[in-house]
């Protein structure tokens, strides 16, 4: 494998046609952690507690977190070995060839875009908590929710703003990320203080409800809520730290997210009796009001929710645009997506495309939030499953690959065990979405249409690729040459 000092990496660092390396350790960590802390902890906590009970919900998240730790370990070795923009694109291309790379990369790109669209709808819904008269000028009813012009324009305006920040450069985007994540951490401290001074332990009862199906219902949300640590690999060419440290940050970001979600479930359960949870739409905000005794603290949590929306939106826009840039650079999708801004050296066309989808999303109303989550989650798990497999493939086919961070110790056994665990656990998580058991997630047909439509477009790009490209270090160069020859360039 190419070392960080070889020509490919140096080109990305020094050439005027490449991305700019400006991110430090804290920047990269906050990009990954902030991506995982979106808006779900504000609006979904009540449902988790009602579905599984306090301890049941915490165990479901702990189990999901363990799965993500194994996946994070797999990613940490791969990103340290291949610190290039696009993450999964590089790993799958080298280990399994271009068709697998298109399928897996396109899948997780769809997952990322689904999060961006989710946040574009979530931001006016959150602001409406602070500005009750936000919804004016009725437009239509979509997916069971009324859509108002003023409400939708708030989300669309946010799409324009965050897109503009990302076009200007990842440094500006990471500064926004660092500031907002710092505020989120302050909200976490307030929740801990509130629990210490105002908690009522009896509110946490029942500890379990709904049995295994209840825990499964919570576990289904885990891929959507934990996706984000893999944004760190997407921006690896823009991180100015040693590759080994980049890999370590992936695992640290997952551990931070597990701690965050467990904190949210625990503090919310201690503040509000379970019988009353259904009366609260934004239960985490109402929990801090109950703990500290003033409406002001609810507004602080809502501000934290807005912060979570921005960090998640920002991070996934970074990740999705870098994936599209990498696929375009390899001639897998139209070259238009690989264009860099002449001044800011960012993948501006990819950012514009994703921001345009985010601009449209609020006009479909809040009723589509569940559809977006359900459509994005299986796409994300498909990519995690494929990366876990390619981790094992590369351990077998390229045992001498330079691995600055080798998980499982110096030998091969520990790493193979970790890889096998990641394959099995992600396969089981993917199985949840297949409607063949009573415990399967019951996805609505619009979710399947959105998921299927996106994946069919990826398959279209896949079948158009020339054949005969061998996996390996030079797979991308072979592909570029073959595509140019096919197009007569």
pLDDT of residue 18: 58
Ranking 228-237, 346-355, 424-433, 469-478 by mean pLDDT, the lowest is 228-237
Query: Are 155 and 167 spatial neighbours (Cβ–Cβ below 8 Å)?
Result: no
User: Cα separation of 343 and 321, whole Å?
Assistant: 17
Query: Are 24 and 177 spatial neighbours (Cβ–Cβ below 8 Å)?
Result: no
pLDDT tier, 171 (very low <50, low <70, confident <90, very high otherwise): low
Q: What is the mean pLDDT of residues 358-386?
A: 82
Cα separation values, 399 from 363, 410, 412, 415, Å: 51, 11, 9, 11
pLDDT of residue 294: 77
Higher-pLDDT residue of 377 and 75 is: 75
User: Cα separation of 181 and 159, whole Å?
Assistant: 19
Residue of 343, 261, 328 lying closest to 63 (CA atoms):
261
Q: Express each pLDDT in 83-119 by its tens digit.
A: 777 778 888 988 888 888 889 989 989 888 888 888 8
288 has a pLDDT exceeding 60:
yes
Q: Express each pLDDT in 412-459 by its tens digit.
A: 788 889 899 999 988 887 777 766 555 555 667 777 788 888 889 989
pLDDT tier, 392 (very low <50, low <70, confident <90, very high otherwise): very high
Cα distance from N-terminal residue to C-terminal residue, the chain: 29
Residues contacting residue 229 through CB under 8 Å, at least 6 positions apart: 32, 33, 35, 36, 68, 72, 75, 250, 253, 254, 257
Q: Express each pLDDT in 233-271 by its tens digit.
A: 766 666 667 777 777 787 888 888 888 888 888 888 887
Question: Half-sphere exposure of 240 toward its Cβ, with a 13 Å CA cutoff?
Answer: 10
192 has a pLDDT exceeding 90:
no
Q: What is the mean pLDDT of residues 163-168?
A: 84
In a 3-state reduction of DSSP, which class is residue 24?
Answer: coil
User: Cα separation of 132 and 129, whole Å?
Assistant: 6
Query: Are 331 and 110 spatial neighbours (Cβ–Cβ below 8 Å)?
Result: no
Listed in sequence order, the DSSP H helices in 398-474 are 413-431, 445-463
- The share of the chain scoring above pLDDT 90, in percent, equals 9
pLDDT of residue 236: 65
């Amino acid at each position: 494998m190419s070392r960080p000092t070889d020509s490919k990496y140096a080109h990305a660092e020094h050439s005027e046609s490449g991305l700019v390396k400006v991110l430090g350790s804290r920047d990269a960590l906050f990009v990954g952690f902030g991506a995982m802390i979106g808006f779900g902890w504000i609006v979904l906590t009540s449902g988790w507690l009602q579905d599984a009970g306090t301890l049941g919900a915490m165990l479901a998240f702990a189990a999901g977190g363990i799965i993500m730790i194994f996946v994070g370990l797999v990613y940490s070795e791969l990103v340290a070995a291949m610190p290039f923009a696009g993450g999964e694109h590089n790993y799958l291309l080298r280990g399994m060839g271009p068709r697998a790379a298109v399928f897996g990369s396109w899948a997780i790109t769809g997952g990322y875009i689904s999060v961006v669209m989710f946040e574009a709808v979530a931001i006016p819904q959150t602001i409406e908590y602070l500005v009750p008269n936000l919804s004016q000028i009725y437009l239509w009813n979509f997916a069971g929710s009324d859509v108002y012009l003023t409400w939708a324009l708030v989300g669309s305006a946010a799409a324009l703003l965050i897109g503009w920040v990302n076009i200007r450069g990842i440094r500006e985007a990471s500064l926004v990320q660092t500031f907002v994540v710092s505020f989120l951490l302050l909200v976490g401290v307030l929740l801990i203080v509130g629990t210490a001074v105002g908690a009522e332990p009896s509110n946490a009862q029942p500890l379990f409800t709904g049995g295994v199906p209840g825990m499964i219902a919570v576990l289904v949300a885990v891929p959507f809520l934990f996706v984000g640590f893999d944004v760190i690999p997407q921006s690896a060419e823009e991180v100015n730290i040693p590759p080994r440290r980049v890999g370590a940050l992936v695992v640290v970001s997952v551990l931070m997210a597990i701690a965050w979600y467990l904190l949210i479930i625990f503090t919310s359960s201690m503040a509000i009796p379970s019988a009353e949870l259904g009366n609260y739409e934004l239960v985490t905000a109402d929990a801090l009001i109950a703990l500290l005794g003033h409406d002001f603290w609810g507004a602080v949590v809502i501000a934290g929710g807005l912060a979570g929306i921005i960090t998640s939106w920002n991070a996934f826009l970074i990740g999705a645009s870098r994936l599209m840039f990498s696929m375009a650079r390899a001639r897998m999708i139209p070259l238009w997506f690989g264009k860099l801004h002449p001044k800011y050296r960012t993948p501006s066309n990819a950012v514009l495309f994703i921001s345009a989808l985010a601009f449209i999303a609020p006009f479909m109303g809040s009723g589509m939030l569940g559809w977006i989550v359900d459509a994005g989650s299986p796409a994300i798990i498909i990519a995690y499953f494929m990366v876990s497999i390619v981790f094992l493939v590369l351990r077998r086919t390229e045992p001498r690959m330079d691995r600055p961070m080798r998980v499982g110790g110096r030998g091969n056994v520990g790493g193979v065990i970790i890889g096998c665990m990641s394959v099995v656990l992600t396969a089981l998580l993917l199985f949840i979405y297949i409607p063949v058991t009573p415990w399967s997630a019951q996805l609505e047909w619009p979710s399947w249409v959105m998921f299927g439509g996106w994946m069919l477009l990826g398959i279209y790009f896949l079948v158009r690729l020339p054949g005969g490209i061998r996996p390996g270090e030079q797979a991308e160069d072979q592909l570029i040459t073959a595509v140019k020859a096919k197009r007569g360039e």
